[in-house]
Amino acid sequence: MDLALKKTIITICGLAGFIFIAYFVKNFEILAFDSYITDVVYAFRETALSYILVIITFSANWQTITLICLILLFYKYKFKSFRTLLIFSVILSSGVYVALKEFFTRARPDEALRLVSEAGYSFPSGHSMTGLVFYGLIIYYVNTHMGNKKAAKVITALLCVLIVLIGFSRVYLGVHYPTDVLAGFCMGTALLFFILLCKDRYYASVKKNAL
């Protein structure tokens, strides 16, 4: 199967998954699925794990992502096109999730359940969405540009675990419902592969015009 077609299919599947979850969230607000999963997750709460997951959730905060982008801005020249793509993806993801939150206006879980302070609406999870797009692009870059394939596989595995844990941390810390996180992952996947499709078409166009 053509690589562009695969990316298109994944983009559509991500959007379809988001729409499916959004339909139930919009019509039923709090789902039995959310209640069941949050009860299971909250049962794991204990002090040491809470500290770890606060750090993990912070890895998808705007402060951390901005810092990484700033570091890349002053790094080697060969990262120029990638860091531009990375910064663009963060801006796009942030704009999309803010717009979606304003549209769905889903309230966050009760404040009494939260282990950290968080403002704004709940659906979808911005941390889950942006974390998947941001670290997903780093995974893509590592696998397409790093010469050491073993190191690339290790970095990929670690970042995949980080992405999943970011989503888990949002439920664990009591600031999101599980459906917020799942919807964030779905939309994040759609955005990630849409961005990669746009990148491929742009470079194909540049290459064609250069001939």
Question: How many angstroms separate the first and last alpha carbons of the chain?
Answer: 27
> pLDDT (tens digit, 9 = 90+) per residue, 74-107?
765 566 678 788 888 989 999 999 999 999 999 9
> pLDDT (tens digit, 9 = 90+) per residue, 26-60?
888 678 899 999 999 999 999 999 999 999 999 99
Which residues, including other chains, have CB under 8 Å from residue 113's CB and lie 6 or more apart? 38, 42, 174
Which residues, including other chains, have CB under 8 Å from residue 146's CB and lie 6 or more apart? 152, 155
Round to whole Å and give the CA distance between 86 and 82: 6
> pLDDT (tens digit, 9 = 90+) per residue, 145-204?
888 889 999 999 999 999 999 999 999 999 999 999 999 999 999 999 999 998 888 766
| Band (207; pLDDT cuts 50, 70, 90) | low
Q: Please choose, from the candidates 188, 160, 180, the residue with its C-alpha nearest in 3D space to the C-alpha of residue 37.
A: 180
> pLDDT (tens digit, 9 = 90+) per residue, 103-126?
999 999 999 899 998 889 999 999
Enumerate the domain spans of the chain. 3-210
State if pTM tops 0.75.
yes
**For residue 113, which amino acid is it?**
L
Q: In this predicted structure, what is the pLDDT of residue 53?
A: 95
- CA 176 to the chain's CA centroid: 14
Q: Compute the Cα dihedral for 94, 100, 101, 103 and give only its sign.
A: positive
- Residue 4 and residue 202 in contact, taking contact as beta carbons nearer than 8 Å: no
